[in-house]
Amino acid sequence: MIRYATLAYGDGDAVYAQASMLVISLLAHAPEPREIVVLTDHPERLEWLRDVARIERLSASQLQSWTGPAPFSMRQKIEAAAFMLAADGPLVLIDADVVATQPLHDFGARLDAGARYLHKREFELGSNTRRGNVRLWRELRARSFGNWQFRPADAMWNSGVIAVGRGDGALLREALTLYDAMDAAGVRHFATEQLVVGVVLARAGHLHEAKDWFTHYWGNKRLFTEEIGRRLRRAREAGLTPAAAAAELRAKPIQPRAEVRPGKVEKLRRWLGV
């Protein structure tokens, strides 16, 4: 049995709507046997899903211990993956701002057979020419972080989906060790969690992209969240069950592009804070 899990925490409404639609998309596309789990500090906001998902309370102290004393990246995701990985089956840890878009039979079969997945490979550390990525490589190259040294061919992966096998707990713990070594060395990058998971899993082998089965809409979150809110309101007004909402999602997928690059005017507005 494959366990699908996500984190939804904090006081904002959007993350709970996003997590709800993720669960609905898994109902639509993930075959049985499966388990869907939401780790949350506000289980009451996900009451509608209790018949189809395990809603597990996440205490503030647990979340703080996972995050660490100086949060600058998403260390808690790696901890959550290690916590949720069962001894009897694979784990797919998914960001709340992701939806499954295709039947997951083939994905699950490959995972059962030993494949590992992250959402997508974004760039190679030693060859990318974007300013921020060049700066990151300059900070990493020729340095040791515990037992690790980064290589030019190592890559940054998007970790909106982290899918590992039942025996991969040691890899997740190694990623945590590398994260903490980089933290101790003063590396502060917003995507440190992605970097360490990607490098550890890639070197372990059998790592593939999950983007054919999932959409990670972090780059167009506003439009997706608006559409998700509209669909959830309609489901409540119509008295739909999560299963009925999943059937509707299969029939009419959410259509906005997953990523929209801001133009010059939008970049200027963000810089000015207006």
The domain that holds 85 is classified in CATH as 3.90.550.10
Looking at beta carbons, which pairs linking 257-262 to residues 24 or more positions away fall under 8 Å? 257/220, 258/215, 258/216, 258/217, 258/219, 258/220, 259/217, 259/218, 259/219, 259/220, 260/219, 260/220, 260/223, 261/219
What's the whole-number mean pLDDT along residues 194-211? 98
Average pLDDT, the chain: 94
- Structure confidence by residue, pLDDT tens digits, 4-49: 999 999 999 999 999 999 999 999 999 999 999 999 999 999 999 9
263 band by pLDDT with thresholds 50, 70 and 90:
very low
What average pLDDT does this structure show over 65-93? 95
Query: How confident is the model over 129-142, as pLDDT tens digits?
Result: 999 999 999 999 99
pLDDT given for residue 267 in this prediction = 44
Q: Is residue 42 part of a domain?
A: yes
Residue 239 lies in a domain: no
Among candidate residues 74, 65, 17, the one with its CA nearest the CA of residue 45: 17
Q: Per the domain annotation, does 252 fall within a domain?
A: no
Residue 105, pLDDT > 90, answer: yes
In a domain, 173, yes or no: yes
pLDDT at 261: 55
Check whether 230 has a pLDDT greater than 70: yes
Does residue 155 sit within a domain?
Answer: yes
Predicted local confidence at residue 63, as pLDDT? 96
Q: What is the DSSP letter of 49?
A: G
Cα 231 from Cα 22, distance rounded (Å) = 13
- Whether the CB-CB separation of 6 and 100 falls below 8 Å is answered with no
In a domain, 82, yes or no: yes
The domain in which residue 114 lies consists of 2-216
Indicate if the pLDDT at residue 252 is higher than 80. yes
pLDDT band at 233 (very low <50, low <70, confident <90, very high): very high
pLDDT band at 264 (very low <50, low <70, confident <90, very high): very low
**pLDDT: is 205 or 68 the higher one?**
205
Average pLDDT over residues 146-170: 97
Q: What percent of the chain has pLDDT over 90?
A: 91
Q: In the chain, how many domains are there? A: 1
Is 90 exceeded by the pLDDT of residue 161?
yes
